[in-house]
Structure 1
């Protein structure tokens, strides 16, 4: 299967379990691997035969902006649900990072993979 990859996409979300985390949106980073059939785009060189990267990014940004989840896991699941609803995907792996949340770590992240069906 072919892949479309987006790395380091910054989104804003109100997320966290502690009261101090619930006062303002914070930046999160998304790394995404979409499993798609790119053969039509390879053959046609036509943008309409592939995934619109800008629409994917905007979908992720809107889900993050409009959510108020406590857990990264829940937000990542909602992001994947939105992507599968809007795009013809065979599978997807999403890594959602919350940088600078632990004093002795650069980053905390979760990775979730889903398949069509």
Structure 2
């Protein structure tokens, strides 16, 4: 399986359980791995034969700017489903990090993996 990875993608969104925490956007950090549906791009060197990671980042930033989440788990699920449904990957792994939210803690977050269900 060929995997595209996007590391330390910084995104602004509204996230947190207390209402005051969702009043202003905050920066979260995403690490994303996604399976390429095929490996044609390795032979053709053509962008149309792969998943355009620039489009993925732009779409994630767009949707997270519009949304508000209480839990990092729900945000991670949202990102996974967006990538699975809009970009045609059969598998995705998303790590969501919320930096500096607690004293003495670099960041907290979740890692989830999702795949398309066989039809």
TM-score w.r.t. the length of structure 1 is 0.95
Task: Output aligned runs, 1:1-117, within 5 Å.
Answer: 1-117=1-117
Deviation, 1:34, is 0.3
Deviation, 1:18, is 1.6
CA RMSD of aligned residues (A): 1.1
Give runs of ≥4 in structure 1 deviating > 4 Å: none
Gaps of 5+ in 2: none
Q: Work out whether residues 9 and 30 of structure 1, in 8 Å CA contact, stay in contact via their aligned partners in 2.
A: yes
Distance 1:67 1:88 in 2: 22
When structure 1 is superposed on structure 2, of 25-34 and 84-93 the one drifting more is 84-93
- After superposition, give the CA deviation of every residue in 1:22-70 in whole Å (9 maximum; x if it has no partner): 2200000000000114520011111110110110101111221111110
Q: How many residues align?
A: 117
Distance 2:83 2:39 in 1: 20
Gaps of 5+ in 1: none
Deviation, 1:20, is 2.9
TM-score w.r.t. the length of structure 2 is 0.93
